[in-house]
Structure 1
Amino acid sequence: MSSTEINYRDFVTYVHDKFKEELTADEIEEILYLEESYNKDSPASLGKSLYLTRLVFLGTKRSGDKIDFDQKLHHGINAWIADNHKGKSTIFKIIKFALTGNDSIKKDIKSWIEEILLEFTIGKVTYTCYIDRTGRDKGSLYRFSIDQYNSYKSEFKLDTIEKKVEFSFNSRQDLEEKLQNFFFDQFSFYNLKYSQKSSVKDSFELNTSSLSWSTYFKSIYLESSNYEHLFFEQEKLGLQGKKIFEMVLGLPLTYPINMLKLQLDRVNESIGKVKLVDKSRMDTAKSSKDVLEKRYQEILEEQESVKKNLEINFEERPLIEEYSSLQEKVNQIRKNHRDLTELYQSEKSRLLSMEEEFCNLKSDRKKVDAEIIRLQKQELNMELYKQSQSFFTNLDIKTCPHCEIKVSEAKKEKEKDQHICSLCGEEPTEQKIEESEILQKSGQIQQEIKSHSARLKKIVENLGKKSLLIEEIKKNVEDYSVTISSIQSIDLYNKRLKEIEDEIARIGREREKYKNPLEKKELLIKEEAVVNFQLEEIKRNESSIVSVEIHSLNLKKAVLDYALYALERKRIVLNKDILSKLETLILKEVNVFGLKSITTVAISDKYELIFTQNDVQIGFNDLSEGEKLRAKLAFYLSLIQLDIEHSLGRHPRFLIFDSPGSEEMVPQHLKGLAEIFKDINDRFENELQIFVGTALREFSQITGKDRTFIKEEDEFVF
């Protein structure tokens, strides 16, 4: 490798010499190949600076007041002095938005702004960024001044000047992307990348992020919240602060080191994933080993069992005899139970039949009783009829009871012969029942009563007999039920029978198992050999289960580590001159800014500022708050001076200091800080541009009156 620059072919050969036993030159080149040149970076200045010349923005406040801000900007220091929360930071955030597309304007103020025009120059070209905020952000970057823009607009010629349009955009994201491409091209910046571990627990996944133009702009716009840090609050995330430093200086080999480190992170990610898979394989192998070892012990035990039991005599006769005896007992119990159950069921059926007959007899008795009562009533009626007829038949009517006319004997005779009433002369419609008929009918009724009475007597006798028989049958049923309940249970016998059956079956299986003991022994010996071989294989592979893939990845990691180490060493040599010049400039400025106790400034291999203060080495974060502000101001001013005095670095020579001095609580320190800015303006007025926004009236004399924009107490900037 050359001591002044890197030759890619020589570098590949250099790395291959280290790994030639394992990798070919082509394989090394495949690992080290990058899309762009290893010598992409150069610290040589491009001779360009960013110079803002005019800012215009229009809109309407919530109160209805119109906003018509139009301010020309100058070289050197431009200072805005106004009370806090009066719009200074908003001015800077509008500038930041117009230069980066990154909108950090407060939401309540953002809605006020309708149009933004920012005029600036890079080299000899003047640009105007126009942003229309009335809807979705849209506009263009023009290659002419705001005055020309207004002229074209008034003449309705904006749509006819395509050659003067650098680009147009239709959204904030579109603006951000196109501004990044524009400024990257102007100052030879590009996206440095870094990887971040996924936030998912136990995950090996890496997310790749990159530094954008908005991130690099933090080396231009120094916000009040970041004065405690050299770059910004989260500068250590992905080493962004270091990467900004590398980019602004254009340090050689920044690109290949960044890309190879990113590739190394990906390799480490893959190694982690593969190791996780290998761990799973090892766990599987261990599980298989446990199973095989268990089976191996079982084989040994079976072999011992075969050896001991080759002469075992299996005798199940006592069990068979016991089984037969128990079976007879069970059968006898079942027979007794069955016989008694049959008798019980027979008596139950007989009882039901008797009870049915008894009920029928009771019903018959009821019917016969009713019939006898009916006949007795009929007999009584006949007797009454007979008596009444006899009375009226023997009655001799002399005169009519109504008219007292005498009844003649002739009528009486006629009544007797012709049955015509001797009084009314009418023949009766009902036949008169003769006494003989009445006597005959009464005799029949008496005969029926006698017959029914005899039947009733017989029924009563049968009911008595049936009742006695029913009681007897009920007693028999109860006796049979008690006897059945007292029969011995066969559950215990059945349980024992099942045990005997199982034991006889087991003996049968054992007999079958040892039917051919020699054959069984041979099979166990063979299985023992197979299992033993498998266990030996697992033991041999336990220490070398790492896959071919992990070996390949580790080799690739080693190549990248070696290549990065070589590039880092080479870069130390290549950067020595520029870093030495920067260290000298920073030391000079911190001393000028009053930090006389700092005697040396060094930049470490990790691009960290190391100060020697009172013979003690400290870092930037070890400084006091006031010292940090001075050191940070000295650092950024030195970056610009590096370009001015040595034509090195790529800083645009433009800085914004938002509210510096808030840490300077002592009046004389505030005065000293104001003098620092005045000194900077006096020395570099035509070489750079710095915007300062502060509420400190001590800063009113740091620059010319035409570049000092002072607002009265409680007055807004716009």
Structure 2
Amino acid sequence: MSTVQTETLLETRIADKADVKVDDVRDVFTEYGLPLVVSPARPRSLHVHRLRVAGERTGDVQPGPFDTPLNFTTGLTAMVASNFRGKTSVLELLTWCLRGTPRNEMQKRVRGWLHHVDLDATVAGEPMAFRLDLTDGEITSAVVLAGGDISSLAGVRAPDAGRGITALLRASSSDSYAEQIAGLMLGRMDLQPLVNSFKETSTQTHGWPAYFGSVYLPAGGDKALLGEVTSNGLPGRLLQVFLDLPAAAALTRVKTVHGVRLAEDKARRTAAAAEAAERASERERLEADLAEARKRLSRLLPSSEDDGSLVDLAHDAVRLARALADAQDQWDDASRVFRRARTERQHAAKLVNDVTESATARLLFHGLNPSSCPRCDQEIDDVRRQGERHASTCAVCAREVTGDDEDPQEVTAEAQERLETSTDIEAAAKEALERAEAAVTDLTRRLEAAQKQLRRAQSAADLPARLAAQEDVLRLEGALSVFREPEKPATGDTEAKTIKILAAAADLLEKDSKSAAEALFEEVNQEIVGLATLFGVPSLKSVAIDRSARLRIYPLGSKQEWFTDQTAGARLRLRIAVVIALLRVGRRYGVSTHPGLLLIDSPKSEEMQSADARKLFAELATVAAESDLQVVITTADFDLASATLPADTIRQAEPGASLW
């Protein structure tokens, strides 16, 4: 099926399920940048060739300057040295170069020895040279170079135009290098940031360092089956690096957007209901207080006919208070209209000046003028605005604005006409505002006079109590007259339709992904059992992995267990078995997009017998050879490496000596 056919089929299925038009589906997916195409698996190879470590070691073991090169074979390379002699540091240095930051296992003391770290690697088919200069364990200068082939980069630490060697990035600190590497590797490896919903109100994004968890396997004690983080569904996302299941990437993004929109809608409704209850309670309180205040006032007012004018004066004061509240609302409205009209007139005046002086402004005259990017909502700053005027570049997309400025007089005239119209509108709005101000002033004066007359008309004996009661009545009547009723939730038909479309898309993609995974996972489970048994996991009947990268264990003669229930040694064996199984089945079906590089630190240290360790090393070497996989593994067991692996795959230090 072609890409166009696939896209048409998916959007049609979503439209049918949500009972909307296909154009509605396209609009929603376009608005959120969601894919309507199930893309095929893309190769994203990662291969290391040479590592050079230079600096000066302090302490009791081999103190002094060092400059050590280490080469890596195409299959499995074993780093063999005594404990605390640099094996893990090799993996951490590879990680620092490729991920941008080392893991916590990189000791600060060891980092302080380093002056230069050079790595030659092939990233997605492109030869690259990573060159780090360090002082006191921190990067002071770094550059990533690209060249024609990997051999041309050997020993090169700066761009060389004559040899076709260019700089892909430069950094002057550890933080800058980490940030730039994250962006560079995501782009070169054709990976999207891992996005998940956060507390049901927003999204959380994880970049290249999270992906690197599929390259550097966790230690046995870690709870995560894949990667370093067990929360937010990240292990399941990393599973997609091993098996590019159809619709899996699109499904995660759709579910994230749907979850956030649903949570926002729920929050709006909850807030609206709470506000409505609060406002209803407030109105009831005001009405009860007003009724009590009127009773109190009626008891204080004189009952003789001669004093009947006092009631009329009170009514007049109430009427004027209500009229004043209405006039103030009208003044508020007129003020908003005037400010908006003034802004429009100022914008029109600026536009006349722009189109008079700038051909670019005339070419963009009839175009949109957004204040922020319509895709990411980032504000369009003054630098971009200045670029549009002086450099002829669009303030939104930063591309050069080209075209024929054929009718400048017409554009200028139209802009002038807009200015005249907006000027007239501003004048009319100003007149309306002045009338509203006059009405407020007049009613304020009349109310003050009525209140003064009312106070004079009251008898001296009851004056304080009457005044207090009348003020309470006026205050409460005024509060009720301007009482703001609660607003209804903002969710309308458009929002409801968007949520409906996203829900339908998530349901369809979930079914597609689940269907595609069933056949693959059946074979993966069989591979895991065979490999785990080979590696020394005892009494294993079967396993079951799901799309969230959760692994269920079924021991012989016992109830189901989870991966996290196993011992550290069993977790390490199972984790390696899972990785190998995923790579084998993925390559068998042509859906494996793993970078093809695995870093494994001292597997034998995790409660593994020598016989099991030999089987593990031998199987890793076999898988690496048959699957175009590169494995860098460390061990302190000299006999294990020499008895299991070819001599040309072993990088070994003398017992007790440092590896670099």
Q: Report TM bin, short chain.
A: 0.5 to 0.7
Answer yes or no: is the 8 Å Cα contact 1:130–1:140 preserved in 2: yes
> CA deviation digits over 1:86-125, x for unaligned, max 9?
2111111111112222234433222322222222345765
> CA deviation digits over 1:459-506, x for unaligned, max 9?
xxxxxxxxxxxxxxxxxxxxxxxxxxxxxxxxxxxxxxxxxxx99834
Please, which of 620, 628, 632 is the counterpart of residue 691 of structure 1?
632
Answer yes or no: is the 8 Å Cα contact 1:271–1:550 preserved in 2: no
> CA deviation digits over 1:30-69, x for unaligned, max 9?
3333435333543x463x6433222212122246611111
Give the superposition deviation at 1:74: 1.2
Give the superposition deviation at 1:19: 5.1
Q: Which whole-Å CA distance do the structure 1 matches of 2:124 and 2:288 have between them?
A: 80
Matches within 5 A, 1:45-444: 46=43, 49-62=45-58, 65-104=64-103, 105-121=106-122, 126-133=127-134, 136-143=140-147, 148-149=152-153, 158-161=159-162, 163-165=164-166, 167-171=168-172, 172-173=174-175, 175-197=177-199, 206=202, 208-224=203-219, 227-236=222-231, 238-271=232-265, 273-274=267-268, 275-276=270-271, 278-296=273-291
Gaps of 5+ in 2: 308-457
Matches within 5 A, 1:518-533: none
Give the superposition deviation at 1:145: 6.3
Aligned to 1:32: 29
Match status 1:549 vs 2:491: yes
Q: How many aligned positions are there?
A: 487
Give the superposition deviation at 1:508: 13
Answer yes or no: is the 8 Å Cα contact 1:55–1:119 preserved in 2: yes
SS of equivalent to 1:677: helix
Answer yes or no: is the 8 Å Cα contact 1:78–1:708 preserved in 2: yes
Answer yes or no: is the 8 Å Cα contact 1:81–1:699 preserved in 2: no
Q: Which moved more, 1:169-178 or 1:623-632?
A: 169-178
Answer yes or no: is the 8 Å Cα contact 2:147–2:153 preserved in 1: no
Partner amino acid, structure 2, of 1:289: E
Q: Which whole-Å CA distance do the structure 1 matches of 2:236 and 2:623 have between them?
A: 29
SS of equivalent to 1:612: strand
Answer yes or no: is the 8 Å Cα contact 1:119–1:145 preserved in 2: no
> CA deviation digits over 1:398-446, x for unaligned, max 9?
xxxxxxxxxxxxxxxxxxxxxxxxxxxxxxxxxxxxxxxxxxxxxxxxx
Q: Which whole-Å CA distance do the structure 2 matches of 1:677 and 1:594 have between them?
A: 13
TM-score by length of 1: 0.59
Answer yes or no: is the 8 Å Cα contact 1:228–1:629 preserved in 2: no
Q: Which whole-Å CA distance do the structure 2 matches of 1:577 and 1:311 have between them?
A: 98
> CA deviation digits over 1:10-43, x for unaligned, max 9?
54444444555xx76654543333435333543x
Q: Which whole-Å CA distance do the structure 2 matches of 1:715 and 1:508 have between them?
A: 99
SS of equivalent to 2:491: helix
Q: Which whole-Å CA distance do the structure 1 matches of 2:279 and 2:571 have between them?
A: 58
Give the superposition deviation at 1:653: 2.1
Q: 1:648 to 1:15 in 2, by over 3 A?
A: closer
Answer yes or no: is the 8 Å Cα contact 2:74–2:629 preserved in 1: yes
Q: Which whole-Å CA distance do the structure 2 matches of 1:606 and 1:508 have between them?
A: 75
Partner amino acid, structure 1, of 2:514: I
Q: Which whole-Å CA distance do the structure 2 matches of 1:12 and 1:120 have between them?
A: 41
Match status 1:656 vs 2:599: yes
Please, which of 669, 672, 679 is the counterpart of residue 619 of structure 2?
679
Aligned to 1:612: 554
Q: Which whole-Å CA distance do the structure 1 matches of 2:534 and 2:290 have between them?
A: 84
SS of equivalent to 2:591: coil
Matches within 5 A, 1:502-541: 505-506=461-462
Answer yes or no: is the 8 Å Cα contact 1:226–1:232 preserved in 2: no
Q: Which whole-Å CA distance do the structure 2 matches of 1:506 and 1:646 have between them?
A: 97
Answer yes or no: is the 8 Å Cα contact 2:236–2:547 preserved in 1: no
Q: Which whole-Å CA distance do the structure 2 matches of 1:251 and 1:144 have between them?
A: 34
> CA deviation digits over 1:297-342, x for unaligned, max 9?
6668989x79xx979999xxxxxxxxxxxxxxxxxxxxxxxxxxxx
Answer yes or no: is the 8 Å Cα contact 1:670–1:698 preserved in 2: no
Give the superposition deviation at 1:193: 1.1
Q: Which whole-Å CA distance do the structure 2 matches of 1:140 and 1:555 have between them?
A: 47
Answer yes or no: is the 8 Å Cα contact 1:38–1:253 preserved in 2: no
Answer yes or no: is the 8 Å Cα contact 2:56–2:65 preserved in 1: yes
Give the superposition deviation at 1:641: 1.5
Q: Which whole-Å CA distance do the structure 2 matches of 1:25 and 1:145 have between them?
A: 48
TM-score by length of 2: 0.63
Q: Which whole-Å CA distance do the structure 1 matches of 2:652 and 2:590 have between them?
A: 35
Aligned sequence identity (%): 18
Q: Which whole-Å CA distance do the structure 2 matches of 1:219 and 1:507 have between them?
A: 84
Give the superposition deviation at 1:717: 1.7
Q: Which whole-Å CA distance do the structure 2 matches of 1:576 and 1:35 have between them?
A: 29
Q: 1:602 to 1:45 in 2, by over 3 A?
A: farther
Larger Rg: 1
Aligned to 1:491: none
Q: Which whole-Å CA distance do the structure 1 matches of 2:239 and 2:612 have between them?
A: 28
Q: Which moved more, 1:687-696 or 1:210-219?
A: 687-696
Partner amino acid, structure 1, of 2:36: Y
Q: Which whole-Å CA distance do the structure 1 matches of 2:9 and 2:295 have between them?
A: 65
Structural RMSD (CA): 4.2
Q: 1:107 to 1:272 in 2, by over 3 A?
A: farther
Matches within 5 A, 1:565-584: 565-584=507-526
Q: 1:613 to 1:619 in 2, by over 3 A?
A: same
Match status 1:588 vs 2:506: no
Partner amino acid, structure 2, of 1:245: L
SS of equivalent to 1:610: strand
Partner amino acid, structure 2, of 1:671: A
SS of equivalent to 1:251: coil
Q: Which whole-Å CA distance do the structure 2 matches of 1:117 and 1:693 have between them?
A: 20
SS of equivalent to 1:133: strand
Partner amino acid, structure 1, of 2:129: T
Aligned to 1:490: none
Aligned to 1:709: 651
Q: Which moved more, 1:79-88 or 1:579-588?
A: 579-588
Q: Which whole-Å CA distance do the structure 2 matches of 1:283 and 1:509 have between them?
A: 32
Partner amino acid, structure 2, of 1:195: S
Q: Which whole-Å CA distance do the structure 2 matches of 1:664 and 1:242 have between them?
A: 27
Give the superposition deviation at 1:509: 9.8
Partner amino acid, structure 2, of 1:693: T
Give the superposition deviation at 1:278: 4.8
Q: 1:278 to 1:137 in 2, by over 3 A?
A: farther
Aligned to 1:366: none
Q: Which whole-Å CA distance do the structure 1 matches of 2:166 and 2:548 have between them?
A: 42
Answer yes or no: is the 8 Å Cα contact 1:38–1:255 preserved in 2: no
Aligned to 2:566: 623
Q: Which whole-Å CA distance do the structure 1 matches of 2:206 and 2:631 have between them?
A: 24
Q: Which moved more, 1:270-279 or 1:80-89?
A: 270-279
Q: Which whole-Å CA distance do the structure 1 matches of 2:153 and 2:12 have between them?
A: 57
Give the superposition deviation at 1:221: 0.8
Partner amino acid, structure 2, of 1:680: L
Answer yes or no: is the 8 Å Cα contact 2:147–2:165 preserved in 1: yes
Partner amino acid, structure 2, of 1:143: G
Answer yes or no: is the 8 Å Cα contact 1:59–1:115 preserved in 2: yes
Gaps of 5+ in 1: 198-203, 315-501, 514-523, 525-529
Answer yes or no: is the 8 Å Cα contact 1:39–1:252 preserved in 2: no
Aligned to 2:453: none
Give the superposition deviation at 1:127: 3.7
Q: 1:302 to 1:227 in 2, by over 3 A?
A: closer
SS of equivalent to 2:569: helix
